[in-house]
Amino acid sequence: MKRKLWVWLLPATLILLFVFVGVLPRVRNHQELQAAVEREKTRPVTVNVVTATRSKDTTQLTLPGQIQPFRETALYARTQGFLGKRFADIGTQVRAGHLLATIDAPELDQEILRARADQKLAGSNLERTRSVELPGAVAKQELDSREAAFEINSATVRRLEVLKSLQEIRAPFSGVVTARNIEIGALVNVGGSMPLFTLAQLDTLRVFVDVPQTYYRFIEKGQQVHVKIPEIPGKGFTGQVIRTSEALRPQSRTLLTEVIIPNQNRELVSGLYGQVRFQLQQASPPVVIPANTLIIQSDGPHVMMVKADQTLKLQLVEIGRDFGTTVEILTGLNGNEKLVINPSDNLQEGQKVQLPAPARSTK
């Protein structure tokens, strides 16, 4: 009987030992693993965030521009002849009305003498006709004809005298002769393709700048600008916006802006290339965010915001200017929002998240 009991007791003991030693620990480990998985599923995801900020209320805009004279004109001959005398050359400082050159035109002088003789003859004939005192001796038509002849000859004399005055080439305004294209004795033709002189006003200079469409609203008349010349390092020049085209160029979508620069001491010369810097004042500066916070979807760009209750919200935004690492947001954000950096596809709106603990400072 005892022998039979041992035969059954030994296998049962081995089975119980196998259950306690092999099976139960595995079951316990599996349960703990399942509990860890569940805890991981319910644990809030840690995300890195950045705060959206507004840009400064003033921004700098630097654009290229070529310096030009405030006024520049080419002087042509209005009468034909030969250049008799020249009183100015390149670099000559002249005032308004200054005599630059004279043109000799002998044929014109002879025409003036002839026209004056014809005028004198017509005047004598008119006086003789008017001196007839016998009523009806001179027809009214003849008197009118001689009066008309005298007026025609007088007009011819005045026209030729005006042409005579055009033999003097004078400066229309004060400035500097920047080009001279004729020598003494050279033939001068009316309406020639090459001007006799080129005159430029250099005590004030101007720069034409093409302002992009993005900034055209910030350009105002009277606005101060800073002009820098690469060849004059360490020194800047102050200019002022005096006018704009009031319309964008359709080809380039830019606003033509004219800037004037005082140049009384002649530090600058015409033709220089410069950088014109505008200080743009913005009444409502835009929000600027890092580019790696954007989520591009079919309905437009979005950002993932972390709300005060640590849940996520997908927010639609409108992008303005792209600065590479940062972008300008026109609508959708007001500033101070916490945005998720590099949001993954696993993040869902309304999901609970947590922020990383702040690093402890070490002394």
The domain limits of the chain are 61-68+201-281, 106-166, 286-354
Residue located via tokens 């004042």: 281
Note whether 353 and 44 are within 8 A (CB).
Answer: yes
Note whether 314 and 28 are within 8 A (CB).
Answer: no
Considering the segment(s) 106-166 as one domain, its CATH architecture is: Orthogonal Bundle (1.10)
Give the sheet arrangement for strand 53-54, strand by strand: 53-54, 287-290, 326-331, 318-322
What CATH number has the domain spanning 61-68+201-281?
A: 2.40.30.170
Report pLDDT for 334.
85
260: nearest Cα among 215, 303, 307, 209: 209
Residues of the chain with pLDDT under 50: 361-363
Distance from the Cα of residue 177 to its chain's centroid: 31
Note whether 77 and 103 are within 8 A (CB).
Answer: yes
Write the single-letter amino acid at 63. Answer: L
Q: Cα-flanking dihedrals φ and ψ of residue 90, to 5°?
A: -60, 140
SS3 (DSSP) at 39: helix
Burial class of residue 135, CB neighbours in 10 A (0-12, 13-18, 19+): exposed
Token digits for 213?
């469409």
Q: Do domains 106-166 and 286-354 have the same CATH topology?
A: no
Q: Cα-flanking dihedrals φ and ψ of residue 126, to 5°?
A: -65, -40
Reply yes or no on domain 286-354 having CATH 3.40.50.2300: no
Report pLDDT for 42.
58
- pTM summary value: 0.59
- β-pairing verdict for 99-104 and 168-170: antiparallel
Write the single-letter amino acid at 96. Answer: A
Contacts of 213 (CB under 8 A, 6+ apart): 248, 253, 254, 255
Contacts of 62 (CB under 8 A, 6+ apart): 275, 276, 277, 278
Report pLDDT for 60.
80
pLDDT tens per residue, range 257-303: 999 999 988 888 888 999 999 988 766 777 888 999 888 888 889 99
Based on its alpha-carbon atoms, the radius of gyration of the chain, rounded to whole angstroms, reads 46
SS3 (DSSP) at 165: helix
Which H or E element spans position 156? helix 140-165
Which H or E element spans position 321? strand 318-322
